[in-house]
Structure 1
Amino acid sequence: MTPPTARTWARRGHTPVIRVRGRSRRRISIAALTCYKPGERSRLIYRPRRDDGRREGRKSFAWTDYRDLLITAHQQLGGPIVLVWDNLNVHLAYGMRQFIARQAWLTVYQLPSYAPDLNPVEGIWSLLRRGWLSNTAFTTPEHLIQTIRHGMRKIQYRPRLIDGCLAGTGLSLTPTTS
């Protein structure tokens, strides 16, 4: 709920102060997939997850949440998926590895450790933070979720933004021969 500040202005010598109501320790997590296929428009599939505030409850995505996202992506895309993702501990969980091994439609490649510059989804987060989430003091968790969904929908309907996130990594869709 702490507002990300991008830019602001004030008279010289008067530091601007942003007051935030209802600072909360609860968190909103988002999982996203950028989907690319030569000859088709790029797509963004995402799921937000809200921390329910219970002490014993999980605050972020479990491997089962990622599994469900992959199943949804497979249904929406209607074909096999080649997944390239980072080394988040949940991605490497035993249950996730078992799930991946059982799916003929899913091939997974791991990015090298500490290589966020190779992950197009990091570009999506940057667009969201610098655009729709910047300079906003959220009043409630619902306000934050609503703004996130609005920003993600705007990105979804602009495939060139999603293409730009892939271009920003230096990776491409065309296979190279050696």
Structure 2
Amino acid sequence: MTPPCARTWGRRGRTPLIQVRGRSWRRLSIAAMACYQPGERARLIWRPKDYRRFKHERKSFAWTDYRDLAVCAHLQLGGPIVLLWDNLNTHLAAGMRRFEAERDWLTVYQLPAYAPDLNPVEGFWSLLRRGLLANTAFADADHLVRTVRRGLRQIQYRPALIDGCLTGTGLTISDRHPTPSRKAQ
């Protein structure tokens, strides 16, 4: 729970020190989807996963958690979904590939390796780190969870911020799904 430092000040000639309460094995993971549809407001769908309850539980999202998030987004949006995956190992899992192949409402495109600048969701994490999480020493894990939830809700209810994260990638939205071009014979 070491806080990211945005800015600080101190007396000239003295290095400022930031006190934190220590570390623990507790962990919070968050999966998020930026949802864009031409003519509609942008949406953010996210799910937190708190690992404080079971010490020997998996410390990250499994492919089944991402599957459930995609199904939830499909139900909330009521239409087909195009996913842009980064190269996270759970996105590339065999079970996830089978799930993608079995759903006609789901189209998946893989982002190039090491290209966080093409992923709109990275903008949300940047907004959180520079906003509510900056210069905060969390008292306990519950304080961290409350702050992250509040920050994501603030982003969620501001479609202009979600649109800005897409604009920052340079990607655009079109009414048609992209189709592979055929070579002229």
TM-score (norm 1): 0.94
Matched position secondary structure for 2:46: strand
Inter-CA distance 142–55: structure 2 relative to 1 (3 Å threshold): closer
Q: CA RMSD in A?
A: 1.7
Asked if the contact 1:22–1:140 (Cα under 8 Å) also holds between the matched residues in 2, the reply is no
Structure 2: which 5+ runs fail to align?
Answer: none
Matches within 5 A, 1:1-178: 1-52=1-52, 54-174=54-174
Amino acid of the structure 1 residue aligned with 2:99: F
Matched position secondary structure for 1:168: helix
Structure 1: which 5+ runs fail to align?
Answer: none
Residue 54 of structure 1, CA deviation: 4.4
Residue 22 of structure 1, CA deviation: 4.0
Bigger radius of gyration: 2
**Fraction of identical pairs, as percent:** 70
Residues of 1 paired with 2:15 and 2:51: CA distance?
34
Inter-CA distance 111–40: structure 2 relative to 1 (3 Å threshold): same
Cα distance per residue 1:8-55 (max 9 Å; x no partner): 111112222111114223221110000000111000000111123645
Asked if the contact 1:52–1:59 (Cα under 8 Å) also holds between the matched residues in 2, the reply is no
Amino acid of the structure 1 residue aligned with 2:158: R
Residue 56 of structure 1, CA deviation: 3.0
Residues of 2 paired with 1:22 and 1:169: CA distance?
36
